[in-house]
Amino acid sequence: MFRPVPMQWITLLVLKDDTPDAAVVVARCGILDPDAAEWPNLLPDLPGKRFAELYGVARGYLDKILAHCPRSDDRPRLAGEMPDEAQLEALGAWLRTLWLQCSNCQESSRRAEEERSYVAQLVKMLDRFAVLGIDLGLLTRSRQFLDVHIGMMPSAHVARVREAVALAGYVLTPLTEERGVVQAVVAGPKGREAEVGAALRAADWEAARLPASLEDGPQAVRRRLLEHQDRVVAEANTRCRQVEMMRQEFGDRLVQAADLLAMAAPYAELGEVARGRGGLTQIGGWAPASELAGLRSALRDRFGSRFVLNARVPRPDETGRVPSLLRHSALLRPFAALVSNYGVPRYGEIDPTLLFAASFVIMFGMMFGDIGNGVLIAVVGALAARRLHGLAPFVIACGLASAGFGWAYGSVFGFEELVHPLWIAPLADPERMLVVALYWGIGFILVAGVLSMGNCIIGRRYRDALLDGKGLAGLVLYAAVLLGLRHQILGTGPGGVAWVTAAAALTLVFGYHWYQYSGKSAEGVLVAFAQSIEDVIGYFSNTLSFLRVAAFELNHVVLAAAVLALASMAQGRAGNWIAVVLGNIFIMVLEGAIVAIQVLRLEYYEGLSRYFGGSGREFRPLTLDRGGVPAS
Amino acid sequence: MRAIARYAYLNTRVSEMASRLLADQEIDSLIEGHSDSQRAILQAGALVGRKPDAAADAGLSLEQRLIANLLADFAILVRALDGAARSFFVYWGCRFELSNLKTILRGKMVNEPAAQIRAQLVDMGPYGRLPVDDLLGTQDVAELLRRLERTPFAAVAREARRIYEERQALFAVDAAVDRRYYAELQEHVQSLDGSDQRELGPLVADMVDRTNLLWLLRYRFSYGLPPAQTYYLLVPAGSQLRPLLLQQLSRLESVAEVIARLPRVFAAPLAGVVTVTDATLVLERGGWRRAEKILKSRAVGLARILAYLVLREKLLRQLRAVSKGRRLGFASDLIRQATGIAAAFVAR
């Protein structure tokens, strides 16, 4: 419960011809996380490399085709034969031709869209000229001394283009501007048309493709432009219809292709990992020690005695490579998701999920204690369990904790007089609330410190466990300073002894930081001093951070009182109740969310960051339905 | 708050990092060094004084490790910034990703195999925004550009499409990407607050001036573009080379004429230069020298960070040149030239 599942390093030796089948058997068991084989120099061959490459190509095309024309059932059936290299190659070639048709459809749709927007701009330009009574034909006709360009470009380019064409003696005159596009005329003396043309092209200039003669009138030109646009759109539609027909025609073959690739995926995934020599292949990886018997039995069923399966416990130098498999009950899974959002524990390290869940729920209740709000949150969590996708236990637990602490505080939807507080009404003694929050914080940090030491010991970092600021020396320093402060403020407990102990612990922490620094000694003193100060400040700022646990509950009570005050001002009984209901909804949604975020903040920064590196690797077994493209 | 107080941490960091930059003599000794050169280059690439992280570095080529180091320094500095200053530097860091984008576009336009293109790319790690695998997996340029249009680089895709459809020379892709980059960098400078803008503005404007001058010489005398197109393709954001001067320079017919019309700050170091290649070396060297001056001065704040990053990039380029040169067995003089420490006009 507090540690990742014990793993073993697995070495599976099979005949080279059996390797693809072995990959499927291993994937069906779903317990092996493949890793680079040992002694790569002794096993120079990569028997699955070509297969993985072919798979990658075919998979890439299939994914793109399915993204272009999705199927209703995307899940492969995971049955049938494993393809060989020749089949995969043929499948890749066939998928490529299909994809080219899809790609052409996409390209012609893009062009059609471009054309549509271009024609729309041009039609607008023609309309404006028609209103002004200007014959564009006059401008477009070829002249002996004058070179004229009519077209459009992004507004942002106008100033720069004007300066550029001026170098060739041209003038740019903007005509209209709409949605960041300017329609303009560029004119100048003939002789440097190529130079101006090049500058305009560089500026995204779209020349107006007007007919040489506009004598037919703007309406006829407009009609011809729209006809041209329709032709382009129709062409795009035809291409896409062809793709649709292809999809209907080859729908079944695409399903078969997906099935085939799903079967091929495990062996492809082993492409860079399975190594061999001669007729033998070795597959290496990590598997839970408790499930090896199942794998052995499945291999025996398929290959009889034609395999060798060896297992050993991970060596100390391999700890960083071993994946962490964490198994949690459905109740803990939402909390595990929050922990994995921070990081995955390294193999062997303490899994903080249970502690995280317990402290999260307790702090949520302490900060948002209200019987009414809590029960309502729990009921909503239970009723909406299906929609919450596994988050229901999290919501229900938070709701129940809120209700529990609400009973302790004697608060029901903000009414303080309905239930007698089991412990204390927060506003009756806010100081006591703050002191309790402070003690909670001290306890939380001490537990985090002990866990940090535990993780150091598990990772064989004994010096860190004893001498680091987050190790025993740091904890002693923290506890001694707390005792010293207690003596100073309250006059109880040890005084002198505490300060002497704190000074000794601080010296140890400082000395250890200095020892760890590899640079110049003068710099080392400075760095060690800064790190030691940071350690001390860190402990106490983190402790004070827990005052928010009480502050948010006090805030909740005050907010509820404000809602009730507003409700008392509302007219009539109905108005009063409406104000109470709306106020409580507001409190639950807004304050509930804020409290959840604050608790998460405390957990991450004051808790996990103290003892949890989160640099582990998640256990990702080879499975049939993983179907991912291999790393190659 | 005054810059010295606001950027106290960053100034300290930059000073510490700058102490690891190499002088020309040290680069020279790397070029001449014999034993275990890979390790020496890695050490020079700012790995000195850091804990080796074998797991993280496993499988990375020398160049990738050097770039990973540069990005690590970059991350440390950017983390301590916020607001417009942070946006500016994050955008500055885009230059590596844009270099990847250029490589992909150019490679696909000349039908280079995906594996070959991939080998030339810089691993951007968490800073990467380009869907490299998707882009390399595209069937043709049209598909590549369609895919690129669905990324933050859509504007580049549109420009690249025009270049491709008009069958223009491939340098146009580089030029388009660079132009967009510097124009946007200048926009980021404009969004900085007063003192930051005053400090950083001249340095960025100087970079733009040097880039403009370089591209002007290339467009006019290497690629033979006409004045109007040349002028349009420059970035309107420099300080010494104002639009009117750029218009005049675009009309000139030789490198010597252009140099003769430049302001003194550029004309003096470029005096006597006749080829675009030499001009490139001199202009780059000038930019580095300006950054070195800022780093050695009492300047605090953003200009100091940018100056360090410019010099860090210079070191990266020099180390790559040394590594490649030694791997290919080039003569020391040629490597010196490639690193910019022995160019004919460097002494000026």
Tell me the nearest-neighbour CA distance from A310 into chain B, angstroms: 26
B101 contacts B177 by C-beta, under 8 angstroms: yes
Does residue A4 carry a pLDDT above 80?
yes
Residue A447: its pLDDT value, please? Answer: 94
The CA-based dihedral angle spanning residues B311, B314, B319, B325, taken in that order and rounded to the nearest 10 degrees: -160
A68 touches chain B (CB under 8 A): no
Does residue A245 carry a pLDDT above 90?
no
A110 touches chain B (CB under 8 A): yes
Q: Domain containing A201: what range?
A: 136-213
Contacts of A196 in chain B (CB under 8 A): 228
Instruction: Please say which residue of A190, A213, A236 terminates a domain.
Output: A213
Which of B230, B231, B246, B253 has the most A C-beta neighbours within 10 Å, making it the best mutation to test the interface with A?
B231
A520 touches chain B (CB under 8 A): no
Does residue A377 carry a pLDDT above 60?
yes
Query: Is residue A534 in a domain?
Result: no
Residue count (chain A)? 632
Instruction: Please say which residue of A144, A179, A213 terminates a domain.
Output: A213
Tell me the nearest-neighbour CA distance from B227 into chain A, angstroms: 7
Does residue A363 carry a pLDDT above 90?
yes
pLDDT band at A242; cut points 50, 70, 90? confident
- Look at residue B140 and give its three-state secondary structure: coil
The CA-based dihedral angle spanning residues A32, A34, A40, A44, taken in that order and rounded to the nearest 10 degrees: 100
Query: Is residue A29 in a domain?
Result: yes
CA dihedral for A318, A321, A322, A328, sign (positive or negative): positive
Strand ranges inside B154-213, DSSP E:
none
CA distance readout (Å), A61 to A64, A246, B121: 5, 15, 23
Q: Do A199 and B139 touch (CB under 8 A)?
A: no
Instruction: Give the model confidence (pLDDT) of A509-568 as tens digits.
Output: 999 999 988 766 777 888 899 999 999 999 999 999 999 999 999 999 999 999 999 998
pLDDT band at A25; cut points 50, 70, 90? very high
Q: What is the mean pLDDT of residues A339-358?
A: 91
Identify any residues that bridge with A152 across adjacent strands, giving them in sequence order.
Answer: A183, A206
Contacts of A164 in chain B (CB under 8 A): 228-229, 231-232
Which residues of chain B have a pLDDT value below 70? 1-3, 34-61, 342-348
Residue B329: its pLDDT value, please? Answer: 83
**Count of structural domains within chain A:** 2
Q: What's the CATH code of the domain at A145?
A: 3.30.70.2750
A352 contacts A376 by C-beta, under 8 angstroms: no
Residue A631: its pLDDT value, please? Answer: 33
Tell me the nearest-neighbour CA distance from B279 into chain A, angstroms: 24
| pTM of structure | 0.72
Separation CA B148–CA B203 (nearest Å) = 32
State both tokens at A340. Answer: 């994995």
Does residue A77 carry a pLDDT above 70?
no
Q: What is the mean pLDDT of residues A261-277?
A: 89
Which of A103, A109, A167 has the most B C-beta neighbours within 10 Å, making it the best mutation to test the interface with B?
A167
Segment A140-146 long-range contacts (CB within 8 Å, at least 24 positions apart)? A140/A210, A140/A212, A140/A214, A141/A212, A141/A213, A143/A190, A144/A190, A145/A189, A145/A190, A146/A187, A146/A188, A146/A189, A146/A190
Separation CA A331–CA A344 (nearest Å) = 19
What's the Rg (C-alpha) of chain B?
A: 20
- Look at residue B52 and give its three-state secondary structure: coil
Tell me the nearest-neighbour CA distance from A362 into chain B, angstroms: 34
State both tokens at B320. Answer: 């790559």
Does residue A602 carry a pLDDT above 90?
yes
Separation CA B89–CA B94 (nearest Å) = 9
Contacts of A195 in chain B (CB under 8 A): 226-229
Q: What's the CATH code of the domain at A21?
A: 3.30.70.240
Contacts of A106 in chain B (CB under 8 A): 143, 146
Does residue A212 carry a pLDDT above 70?
no
Residue A75: its pLDDT value, please? Answer: 62
Residue A224: its pLDDT value, please? Answer: 77
Contacts of B108 in chain A (CB under 8 A): none
Tell me the nearest-neighbour CA distance from B236 into chain A, angstroms: 8
A65 touches chain B (CB under 8 A): no
What whole-number percentage of chain A has pLDDT above 90? Answer: 53
Query: Is residue A450 in a domain?
Result: no
Residue A477: its pLDDT value, please? Answer: 95
Q: What is the mean pLDDT of residues A83-96?
A: 93
Amino acid in the structure at residue B84? A
Query: Is residue A308 in a domain?
Result: yes
Q: What is the DSSP letter of B43?
A: I
A171 touches chain B (CB under 8 A): no
Report chain A's terminal Cα–Cα distance, integer Å. Answer: 36
Residue B2 or residue A49, greater confidence:
A49
Instruction: Please say which residue of A213, A237, A252 terminates a domain.
Output: A213
A180 touches chain B (CB under 8 A): no
Tell me the nearest-neighbour CA distance from A534 into chain B, angstroms: 15
Tell me the nearest-neighbour CA distance from A627 into chain B, angstroms: 17
Amino acid in the structure at residue A201? R
Tell me the nearest-neighbour CA distance from A99 into chain B, angstroms: 9
Which of A96, A163, A172 has the most B C-beta neighbours within 10 Å, making it the best mutation to test the interface with B?
A163
Q: Do A167 and B236 touch (CB under 8 A)?
A: no
Q: Do A96 and B225 touch (CB under 8 A)?
A: no
Q: Say which residue the tokens 């999809």 belong to.
A: A247
Query: Is residue A165 in a domain?
Result: yes
Contacts of B166 in chain A (CB under 8 A): 201
State both tokens at A206. Answer: 């779209």
Residue B345: its pLDDT value, please? Answer: 45
Query: Is residue A1 in a domain?
Result: yes
Q: Do B139 and A166 touch (CB under 8 A)?
A: no
Rounded to the nearest integer, the mean pLDDT of chain A is 87
Residue A619: its pLDDT value, please? Answer: 93
pLDDT band at A233; cut points 50, 70, 90? confident
Separation CA A196–CA A184 (nearest Å) = 14
Query: Is residue A451 in a domain?
Result: no
Separation CA B218–CA A288 (nearest Å) = 63
Separation CA A85–CA A76 (nearest Å) = 20
Does residue A74 carry a pLDDT above 60?
no
Query: Is residue A491 in a domain?
Result: no
Q: What is the mean pLDDT of residues A382-409?
A: 93
Q: Which residues does B contribute to its contact with A (CB < 8 Å)?
A: 49, 51, 55, 137, 139-140, 142-143, 146, 158-159, 162, 166, 225-229, 231-233, 236, 243, 247, 250-251
